[in-house]
Amino acid sequence: MRLFFNESIKRGLVQLVRRQLYWLVMIVLPIGCSIFLLDLMKDGGVHRVPVGIVDLDNSMVSRRIERNLMAMQQVDIRQHYTNYDEAIKALQRGDIYGFIVMPERLEHKALSGQEPVVSYYINYAYFPPASMQYKGFKTITMLANGAIAKTTLEATGLLTDRGVMTLLQPILTQVHALGNPWLNYSYYLNLSFIPCLLALFIMLTTSFSIGTELKYGTCREWIASAGRSIEFALLGKLAPHMFIFTCTGWMIQFLMYRVYGLPLNCNPWHMILAMPLFVLANQGFALLMMCIAPNFRLGTTLCTLLGMLSFSFCGFSLPEEAMYPWVRAIGYVVPIKYYFLLSIDQALNGIPFYYSRYYYAALIVFVALPWPLLWRLKRECIKPIYVP
């Protein structure tokens, strides 16, 4: 038994050495992508998005709106245009990401109560800068509406300054952003996107390494080297992967929490111990897909599809509240969901370890899920059926 185990491990290590693709996918790409995302948002998000302005009024009100817009951190007015056509051509060329149009007679209509329309055009092909523009444009127009209304009411002499403010904003609100009071985009985007990207690499590598044995007809040799034991065969193949991916994950955690300063409000060992569980859970999920569909093309397609959709179904790019219940439920089918909830509880909020025990348990469950179906993979390895 020990001989078969050693042979299986040796075969797995030889495959790693022979294929440089493994080192690229297991070390270079995960760490490289993590550094790129972390460095991209090291300042907390996207700021000073280049925009344009079309001022057809040139009045005191329009110039005040422009000055207030220039003072905002979200946008940076790069160019002034004389008409809509010039601005839209600049937007199409990529010179700017959006522009705001202030119509003719803006001041006259605003002070006479005719409700002028201020329009802004945003290129939503680039979501982060588009969101920043929308936030800046909307804030400025709402503040301009309040300022014009305040000036008009005070000019009538019917209300005092305090009475005007009470009328415009009868209820004062205080917003406290718990867990991320700085509203730092990197804190909640990179805490989800980087582990999800790592999970995708783990699932693809696992399904690829098993699928190539089936595709190239070496599955009989693979299972024979392990004494016809599918457990030893998988252990010899996936154990080196698990070790390398765990080291890569620890390196990514070091970059996130120590180099780029993402919040780590728990005992560091809570996240350090979560990483090998996370790697094993994704390996178990990929193995489950290969057991359900023991075919190179079908197995890798399932892992790729579910790995890519995890960015949406798990609530990383779209809030769960906006999803249909059945779509939201799909997010709980993949391991990354539980690691994300675990990192939010531990790293971001720093709650006691006891309250995150279910998420650790869920990762362990993913490790055990494929074992009842290993007979399907073993049968395919012993008696392979070619499927193009």
Per residue in 107-164, pLDDT (tens digit) is 777 777 677 788 888 888 776 778 778 888 888 777 766 666 666 665 566 555 555 5
Model confidence over 205-246: pLDDT tens digits? 999 999 888 888 888 888 888 888 888 889 888 999 999 999
Judgement on whether residues 194 and 57 belong to the same structural domain of the protein:
no
- Out of 168, 202, 228, a domain closes at 168
For residue range 60-119, list pLDDT tens digits in order.
878 888 888 888 777 888 888 988 899 998 888 888 888 988 888 887 777 776 777 888
71, 152: one domain: yes
Identify which of 203, 245, 199, 257 has the alpha carbon closest to the alpha carbon of residue 38.
257
The band of 2, judged by pLDDT with boundaries at 50, 70 and 90, is: low
Instruction: Specify whether 75 is located in the same domain as 142.
Output: yes
| 221/368 same-domain check | yes
The answer on 255 and 127 residing in a single domain is no
Q: Let me know if residue 388 belongs to a domain.
A: no
Q: Is the domain of 140 the same as that of 11?
A: no
**Which token pair is 55?**
């001022």
Tokens of 232: 């030893």
7 confidence band (pLDDT: 50, 70, 90): confident
Instruction: Sort strands 75-81 and 49-55 into parallel, antiparallel or unpaired.
Output: parallel
Q: How confident is the model at residue 277 (pLDDT cuts 50, 70, 90)?
A: very high
Q: Are 41 and 185 in contact (CB under 8 A)?
A: yes
Closest CA to 191 of 83, 336, 1, 22: 336
Amino acid at 58: N
Element (H, E) at 363: helix 357-368
183: left (phi over 0), alpha (psi -120 to 50) or beta: left
Mean predicted lDDT score pLDDT of the chain:
83
| Rounded alpha-carbon distances, angstroms, from residue 306 to 30, 38, 137, 256, 309 | 18, 24, 37, 25, 5
Counting the structural domains of the chain, the total is 2
Could you say which of 135, 168, 201 is where a domain stops? Answer: 168
Determine the residue type at 370.
P
173 falls in which pLDDT band (50, 70, 90)? Answer: low
On whether both 321 and 228 belong to a single domain, the answer is: yes
Under 8 Å CB-to-CB from 80, ≥6 apart: which residues? 52, 53, 54, 55
Q: What is the dihedral of CA 217, 218, 220, 226, to 10 degrees?
A: -160
228, exposed or middle or buried, with CB in 10 Å at 0-12, 13-18, 19+?
A: middle
151 lies in the same domain as 126: yes
